[in-house]
């Protein structure tokens, strides 16, 4: 992964996780180049941790889970 891509990933992580505690799949998709379908697949695979608060059908991803997921992807690209 080149330096520009790494810097852009770091900036994206900081902007996404700066103010909110949790995000919807739609919010993450809108702020990244990741589609909603891909994010849902990553949740199903267990790569991106998500929760359903109470009996809600809504899926949310905590800022910590999102940060961990983005960092893991960045670390995998540095082989």
In the chain, the domains with their CATH numbers are: 3-76 (1.10.1660)
| Element (DSSP H or E) covering residue 30 | helix 25-31
Global pTM exceeds 0.95 = no
13 close to 70: Cβ distance less than 8 angstroms: yes
Judge whether residue 33 has pLDDT over 90: no
pLDDT at 73: 72
- For tokens 């991803």, the residue is 61
Sorting pLDDT into bands at 50, 70 and 90, what band is 26?
Answer: very high
């Amino acid at each position: 992964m080149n330096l520009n891509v790494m810097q852009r990933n770091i900036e994206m992580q900081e902007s996404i996780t700066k103010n909110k505690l949790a995000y919807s799949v739609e919010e993450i998709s809108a702020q990244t180049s990741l589609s909603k379908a891909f994010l849902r697949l990553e949740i199903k695979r267990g790569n991106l941790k998500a929760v359903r608060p109470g009996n809600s059908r809504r899926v949310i991803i905590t800022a910590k889970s999102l940060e961990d997921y983005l960092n893991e992807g960045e670390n995998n690209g540095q082989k």
